[in-house]
């Protein structure tokens, strides 16, 4: 299976900060990388698909980039509602697709 | 509006069987892959498998193959996740999720609310 490694595992930031979360694949996956946001007690929510495409309804402060093995999720100006856990997912191989271990974004 | 509504929380003993459901609405059920994702307490997301209701093709994560059964019922626009003999390690939250488009590479764009399964003697 392709292993997905996110960094950092946790992150403290303030409202208005620019935040980046990195996801690295154990082999090249082209742009078959999706990003999700999960809040406590809620189902995940798709933010970005195929590395850089913004899912409908997701605020434009979220963006994604990367290809091959290295990918970045950027939040340009943190809002209160953005404090959550973020997961990347590779869909280059199915089955199985694999998720990163998650990055917990907390208020500083 | 696409909706996925899952069955309620379940408590079972080890060795018991269980079938949980995910009822969909708002789209043509047979046209989109739909799958299941596990989240154990305090842990990350694990892709269990997906089914294409149009022809009942199923793709399992090898880690879950033989441990669970995924099925679909087009008449009820529902997908199911079934265990024949539960273990304590099956405890967790289970989400059904539908891909955002016909292209399964673009991720799960629609999710159920989750079904909490607790297996304890």
Nearest Cα residue to A84 out of A54, A52, A47: A47
Interface test with A, best of B105, B106, B114 (most A CBs within 10 A): B105
A9: nearest CA partner in chain B: B44
pLDDT of A55: 97
At residue A103, what are phi and psi to the nearest 5 degrees? Answer: -125, 120
* Phi and psi based region of residue B26 (left: phi greater than 0; alpha: psi -120 to 50; beta: remaining): left
Asked if residue A102 lies in contact with residue A108, where contact means CB atoms within 8 angstroms, the answer is no
* Phi and psi based region of residue B22 (left: phi greater than 0; alpha: psi -120 to 50; beta: remaining): beta
Span A6-60, pLDDT tens digits: 999 999 999 999 999 999 999 999 999 999 999 999 999 999 999 999 999 999 9
Nearest Cα residue to A75 out of A55, A60, A54, A90: A60
CB under 8 Å to B35, separation ≥6 — which residues? B47, B48, B49, B50, B51, B70, B96, B97, B98, B99, B108
Q: Is A22 exposed, middle or buried (0-12, 13-18, 19+ CB in 10 A)?
A: middle
Asked if residue B16 lies in contact with residue B37, where contact means CB atoms within 8 angstroms, the answer is no
Interface test with B, best of A6, A35, A37, A49 (most B CBs within 10 A): A49
Whether B116 contacts chain A with CB within 8 A: no
CA neighbours closer than 13 Å in the CB half-sphere of residue B110: 21
Are B47 and A87 an interchain contact pair (Cβ–Cβ within 8 Å)?
A: no
Asked if residue B44 lies in contact with residue A101, where contact means CB atoms within 8 angstroms, the answer is yes
A residues 54..73 contacting B (CB < 8 A) = 55
pLDDT of A95: 85
Residue of B46, B59, B112 with shortest CB distance to A94: B59
Size of interface A-B (CB pairs under 8 A): 69
pLDDT of B54: 95
Nearest Cα residue to B59 out of B83, B80, B36, B77: B36
CB neighbours (10 Å) of residue A61?
Answer: 14
CB under 8 Å to A86, separation ≥6 — which residues? A6, A21, A35, A36, A37, A38, A47, A73, A102, A103, A105
Residue of A45, A46, A102 with shortest CB distance to B44: A102
Interface test with A, best of B9, B33, B39, B45 (most A CBs within 10 A): B45
pLDDT of B48: 97
Q: What is the pLDDT along chain B (121 residues), one digit of tens a residue?
A: 999 999 999 999 999 999 999 999 999 999 999 999 999 999 999 999 999 999 999 999 999 999 999 999 999 999 999 999 999 999 999 999 999 999 999 999 999 999 999 999 9
């Amino acid at each position: 299976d392709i292993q997905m490694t996110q960094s950092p595992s946790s992150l403290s930031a303030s409202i208005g900060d620019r935040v980046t979360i990195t996801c690295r694949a154990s082999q090249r996956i082209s742009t078959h990388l999706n990003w999700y946001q999960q809040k406590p007690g809620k189902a995940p929510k798709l933010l970005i698909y195929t590395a850089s495409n913004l899912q409908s309804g997701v605020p434009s402060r979220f963006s994604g980039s990367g290809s091959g093995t290295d990918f970045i999720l950027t939040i340009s100006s943190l809002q209160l509602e953005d404090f959550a856990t973020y997961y990347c997912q590779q869909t280059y191989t199915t089955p199985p697709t694999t998720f990163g271990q998650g990055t917990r974004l907390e208020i500083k | 509006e696409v909706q996925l509504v899952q069955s309620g929380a379940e408590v079972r003993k080890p060795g018991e069987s269980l079938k949980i459901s995910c009822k969909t609405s708002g789209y043509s059920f047979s046209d989109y892959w739909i799958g299941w994702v596990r989240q154990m307490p305090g842990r990350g997301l694990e892709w269990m498998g997906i089914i294409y209701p149009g022809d009942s093709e199923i793709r399992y994560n090898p880690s879950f193959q033989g441990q669970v059964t995924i099925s679909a019922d087009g008449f009820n626009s529902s997908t199911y996740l079934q265990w024949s003999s539960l273990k304590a390690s099956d405890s967790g939250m289970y989400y059904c999720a539908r891909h955002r488009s016909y292209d399964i590479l673009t991720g799960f764009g629609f999710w159920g609310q989750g079904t909490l399964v607790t297996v304890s003697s």
